[in-house]
Amino acid sequence: MKSQISNLKSKVPLWVMLAAAGLWLLLAAAGLAFYAWGAPTNPPGFFIDESSVAYNAHTIAESGKDEHGEAWPLYFKAFGDYKNPTYVYLLAAVFRVTGPSVAAARYLSAMLGVLAALVLGLLGVRLTKSNAAGLFTFLTALLTPWLFELSRVVVEVAAFPLAVALFLLATRRAASKEAWGVADSALVAAALALVTYTYSTGRLTGPLLALGLALLLTNRRRVVPLLTTWALYGLALAPLYVYHRRNPEALTKRFNYLTYVTPDSRYAEDVWEFVKHFAGNLNPWRLLVTGDVNTYQIASVPGAAPVLFATFLLALCGAWLALKSARRDAWWRLFFYGLVASVVPASLTNDYFHLLRLAALPVFVIALAAPALAYLIDKERAALFFLFIALTLAQGLVFRFQFERYADSPWRRHVFDADYASKILPAALAASPREIHLADSTSVPGYVQALWHGAAQGLPPETFVRLRQDEPAPAGAVVITTEDIRPRCRVLAESEPYAVCATEGRPRETGPLADADLRAELRAIEVPARVAPKSRVQVRVAVRNAGGAVWLARERGLSPHQLSAANHWLDASGDVVVNDDGRGALPRDLRPGDEAEIDFAVNAPRHPGDYILEIDMLQEGVSWFALKGSRTLRVTVRVE
């Protein structure tokens, strides 16, 4: 059988090289047009994380400071997380030229997606010595839904596939030499640094890939270049080390929330969870059929496969060819090590097949298509080659049709806050053009939507006054809020989870209730019969005021005596396992005899078994209602 990686036998004429370069440029321009078309309006609106990234890029472009006033930060403090620097600073450079806008931000993501596809195409040329194989690898990458969807959102991960592709290209260039030089070491180290500083999973993926470079150590002449690469990468990690020392929990807090690894978990449990999640993240059914089932996954269309079937078959064929080459080519050994390493970070978190945390995986899948395409280009296999190209084009265009059709779906518009710029902010400005108060729930920090859209419209920052979590809105204020509970609110406009309110009356303070008024009747509306260990689930209960006094709805932080539904966990014999778990605030004032529904989250026990979920009313700083004679609601729940 002929070699699958052909060699150039003679010098290529200049006109052929120029023609090939022109073709690459033409296809790159066409790819950019394909990715950029409709980007500002599809997805509709601007997701809250997009606004956070874009607003910080805007403030950096304007003043060199982030939204909190920190000058040139290494990481950007956001709500419950820290944004990685690469994308934010790239976008700041764009805004420095264009000014802040949704279009400019989305076009940057589109360009990064096309560049990732282009680098994969160039990698295909270097792997196969075939321009045709490289060009069709580029086409395959452009049509891969996973890469396309990542390039449609203004978040850090949009740059991650490019960083990983640059690492593969840089290492292939170095590995093609007996002993690579300082320039090659610098390129590989720079690519590793990009991987590390571009997305959160890169802080583990980068060091893993760096360790994998030892697989290229096939002769003594490579020892010094390898040590040089590690040294340069180590220098690039120095700012990260210093930042972590100064901010010990900043870069790990989010991971601690997402992972199944806890101080209380056993080693054997963690290993088993990792094996399950690793296998689940490589599940072909998810790759080819269901995709990411997370309904709030901004970078996917529900039910659309992230990888095309034709691409997957090409990758399988390419893997077979590459494994044969790996016996004599150390780079392919590094490649397969990198493929495995790319799945490790996502496999340490609770979610299965999270498209963003697995963003490095499609780069490896697409790269495997290159040797398969080179193999099929042979004249004897031309029919099969054109069949694969036709399937890729057909399925890729069908996906694009799905993507465009899904743009105006109610759920897509809700997730991307599509009504904010057209409905919420205009209503607030019409009622109070000079001062708008912002009040947020802990789970939806909508303030950043006001700051971003205000900046994009040229409004001065002083237009918005952000209320502290414990600060009630003053009487007569216009407030944009994401809170479900809105006492004293006359609604001017609403689009879940946002509401524009004109506050009426002064803030109210709830005093301690008399023991006789701590009486409630509770009934279950939605309580799951089975839950997973350590999972967080929503419950809904109906609460009736069985006392003789009015229960006042929660006011923002004014009173220490707020009323809430809350829960305990008991074992099957009735002994307390968890004494105080979730909270659900009273949504509105309840007069004696009135009833309201309360939703809140509870955290399942960590060990399987039969438990009793006990729900009671609580007045903070006063008492649980049950301690004063009120009956609780008990529901049996199976943890498995």
Give the C-alpha distances (Å, rounded to integers) separating 334 from 169, 217, 590. 12, 10, 65
Q: Give CA–CA dist 628/515, Å, rounded.
A: 6
Q: Which residues of 241-271 are buried (b: 16+ CB within 10 A; e: fewer)?
A: eeebeeeeeebeebbeebebbeeeeeeeeee
User: Residues 613-622: pLDDT tens digits?
Assistant: 999 999 988 9
When pLDDT is cut at 50, 70 and 90, the band that residue 497 belongs to is very high
Is the distance from CB of 496 to CB of 414 less than 8 angstroms?
yes
User: Residues 385-430: pLDDT tens digits?
Assistant: 889 999 999 999 999 999 999 888 999 999 999 999 999 999 999 9
Q: Give CA–CA dist 40/38, Å, rounded.
A: 6
User: Residues 111-139: pLDDT tens digits?
Assistant: 999 999 999 999 999 999 998 999 999 99
**SS3 sequence, 114-154?**
HHHHHHHHHHHHHHHCCHHHHHHHHHHHHHCHHHHHHCCCC
Give the C-alpha distances (Å, rounded to integers) separating 489 from 47, 507, 562. 26, 11, 18
pTM of this prediction? Answer: 0.86
What does the block give as tokens for 524? Answer: 């279950």
Place of tokens 């610098």: 186
SS3 state at 12: coil
The dihedral over CA atoms of 504, 505, 507, 511, expressed in degrees to the nearest 10, equals -120
Q: Is the pLDDT of residue 15 over 90?
A: no
Strand order in the sheet with 436-439: 464-466, 436-439, 478-481, 498-503, 489-495
Tell me the domains of the chain and their CATH numbers: 101-410 (no CATH), 417-503 (no CATH), 515-639 (2.60.40.10)
User: Residues 571-610: pLDDT tens digits?
Assistant: 988 899 988 888 888 888 899 999 999 999 999 998 899 9
Q: Which residues contact 205 (CB under 8 A, 6 or more apart)?
A: 164, 195, 196, 341, 342, 344, 345, 360
441 conformational bin, left if phi > 0, alpha if psi -120 to 50, beta if neither: beta
Q: What is the pLDDT of residue 10?
A: 46
Q: Which residues pair with 544 in a beta bridge?
A: 521, 595
- Rg (C-alpha) for the chain, rounded Å, is 28
Secondary structure element (H or E) that encloses residue 181, with its range: none
